Amino acid sequence: MIELIPLLLFLVVCAFLMFVYPVAFTLAGTALLFASFGIVAGAFDPKILLAFPSRLYGTMTNYTLIAVPLFVLMGVLLEKSRIAERLLEDMSRLCGRLPGGLGLSVILVGVLLAASTGIVGATVVTMGLMSLPAMMNRGYDKSLAAGTICATGTLGQIIPPSIALVLLGDVLSSAYQQAQINLGVMNPEPVSVGDLFVGALIPSLILVSFYIIYILTRTAINPSLAPPAKTPTDDSEKISVTHWLGSLLPPVLLILCVLGSIILGIATPTEAAGVGAVGAGFLAFIKKQLSIAQLKDVVHSTLKITAKVFMILIGASLFSLVFRGFGGDTVIEEFFQQLPGGAITAMIMVMIVIFLLGFILDFIEITFVVVPIVGPILLAMDINPIWLGIMIALNLQTSFLTPPFGFALFYLRGVAPDSLPTSAIYRGVIPFIMIQLLLLVILAVWPGIVTWLPDKL
């Protein structure tokens, strides 16, 4: 009976989260409630809770997590300064004469925005507000427009440098060290956030290429789904060429400098995040796109998002402590060991659970709650930590797109006009879900696609 308490704890947390209670306080409050009952019943050792202050101190002194507010600041600066909006306008002028040209522009600008923010909600809402009216006015098929925006908005899960990979990399690093120590390896090789960034490069490029191929193929078969723009006048052509370098190169160079410094070993992710934040501020300043009022809004948004992330981290830390205090990690490990097929079956089970949890939990909660529980067990089965991290990120990205509970669908529904029915959004994302499932299968069959570049570097 005691073995069922960890499962009951997890189910109760999920139930409370479905009622939209604050995540951080739900995790911490439910854990303390179960711990209290466990202490009274003699099923929980109260001394376990004494480890929480040291966990909290470890979070406060974690150098890697300093990258979170800096990357958030970088993304919010690019968003509030309308640099991405200007880039979309110019890219649509360059690609607009092609069938599906505006859709291609949305994908390319969305890649840049996803790399800078790494937050699904922010990217989907921003792209929805910027591009959805233009696509509908151009006569785009509603399903194709909605699907393109939702799929592009979720790219922040996998395209480095992103907050999702920063958090996932930090948690996997701790899980890998724990797994190696449990196996008797006293000096385990470290796994860094930079390793996860490098491992995500090739899969993210493949995914974006698949998106582009899908748009080009479908619009070539049926151009009426995404009508090209009318042939621009000479003046408009001159404007797009004149502004092209000024709008495209600065943000692209900023992302390349941030990512390149990490890959080449010049800077840590935290140091690169600082460079990115300063660079984004410099771009906004020289383009005169940021007023004092907007700067206050940027700082407020950064503080709000960062506080949310770290409060969830604190709540999840207490939850995992109580979960382990009830022997939850031992129960899960024994369950995985009894499964036929070993690591393959365990990996499939975990991916299914994470996919389903993606309907009710954000990537932050899953990263801080689920991955610390299952990560050490899977990594002890000789699963590559970088490959595991990329598979989890892609899995969550797919979950956020899947009807009827995908987060990206809700975000777009919130900013879309009533003329765009919800059914059109659902139909539009299905091809992109198939693309992402295809990539998951490819990476499962050929894990070297993920691990080759990190091994070389």
String of DSSP letters for 57-125: HHHHT-SGGGHHHHHHHHHHHHHHTTHHHHHHHHHHHHHTTSTTHHHHHHHHHHHHHHHHH--HHHHHH
Predicted confidence (pLDDT) at residue 436 exceeds the cutoff of 90: yes
- DSSP codes, 316-338: HHHHHHHHHHTTHHHHHHHHHHH
How many CB atoms neighbour CB 101 within 10 A?
23
Task: Grade residue 244 by pLDDT with cuts at 50, 70 and 90.
Answer: low
Cα-trace Rg, the chain: 23
Confidence at residue 233, expressed as pLDDT on a 0 to 100 scale: 44
Confidence at residue 444, expressed as pLDDT on a 0 to 100 scale: 92
User: Comparing C-alpha atoms, which of 64, 346, 106, 364 is closest to residue 190?
Assistant: 64
Confidence at residue 256, expressed as pLDDT on a 0 to 100 scale: 79
- pLDDT tens for 332-377 read 777 777 778 778 888 888 888 888 887 777 777 788 888 888 888 8
Task: Grade residue 433 by pLDDT with cuts at 50, 70 and 90.
Answer: very high
Which range among 25-39, 79-93, 317-331, 403-417 has the greatest average pLDDT? Answer: 25-39
SS3 state of residue 218: helix
How far is Cα 261 from Cα 361, in angstroms, rounded to an integer?
33
Measured in degrees and rounded to the nearest 5, phi and psi for residue 222 equal -135, 85
User: Comparing C-alpha atoms, which of 139, 124, 141, 137 is closest to residue 421?
Assistant: 141
Confidence at residue 235, expressed as pLDDT on a 0 to 100 scale: 42
Task: Grade residue 234 by pLDDT with cuts at 50, 70 and 90.
Answer: very low
Task: Grade residue 68 by pLDDT with cuts at 50, 70 and 90.
Answer: confident
Query: What is the pLDDT averaged over residues 66-90?
Result: 76
Q: What percent of the chain has pLDDT over 70?
A: 89
Task: Grade residue 14 by pLDDT with cuts at 50, 70 and 90.
Answer: confident
Predicted confidence (pLDDT) at residue 137 exceeds the cutoff of 50: yes
Predicted confidence (pLDDT) at residue 317 exceeds the cutoff of 70: yes
- Window from 49-58, 67-76, 208-217, 343-352 with minimum mean pLDDT: 67-76
Query: What is the pLDDT averaged over residues 29-47?
Result: 89
Confidence at residue 223, expressed as pLDDT on a 0 to 100 scale: 84
Which tokens hold the place of 133? 């009216």
Which range among 6-20, 126-140, 427-441 has the greatest average pLDDT? Answer: 427-441
User: Comparing C-alpha atoms, which of 194, 191, 127, 192 is closest to residue 156?
Assistant: 127
- Window from 170-184, 225-239, 286-300, 410-424 with minimum mean pLDDT: 225-239
User: Comparing C-alpha atoms, which of 178, 188, 128 is closest to residue 153?
Assistant: 128
Confidence at residue 331, expressed as pLDDT on a 0 to 100 scale: 79
Q: Which amino acid is at 273?
A: A
Whether the Cβ atoms of residue 287 and residue 81 lie closer than 8 Å to each other: yes
How many CB atoms neighbour CB 169 within 10 A?
27
Confidence at residue 245, expressed as pLDDT on a 0 to 100 scale: 63
Q: What percent of the chain has pLDDT over 90?
A: 11
Whether the Cβ atoms of residue 392 and residue 373 lie closer than 8 Å to each other: no
- State the chain's mean pLDDT as an integer: 81
Predicted confidence (pLDDT) at residue 90 exceeds the cutoff of 80: no
Predicted confidence (pLDDT) at residue 103 exceeds the cutoff of 60: yes
Query: What is the pLDDT averaged over residues 260-279?
Result: 82
Query: What is the pLDDT averaged over residues 388-404?
Result: 87
Predicted confidence (pLDDT) at residue 197 exceeds the cutoff of 50: yes
Which tokens hold the place of 30? 């439910």
CA dihedral 454, 267, 209, 417 (to 10 degrees): 130
Task: Grade residue 122 by pLDDT with cuts at 50, 70 and 90.
Answer: low
First to last CA, the chain: 49
Write down the pTM of the prediction: 0.80
Predicted confidence (pLDDT) at residue 236 exceeds the cutoff of 50: no
User: Comparing C-alpha atoms, which of 58, 34, 90 is closest to residue 327?
Assistant: 34
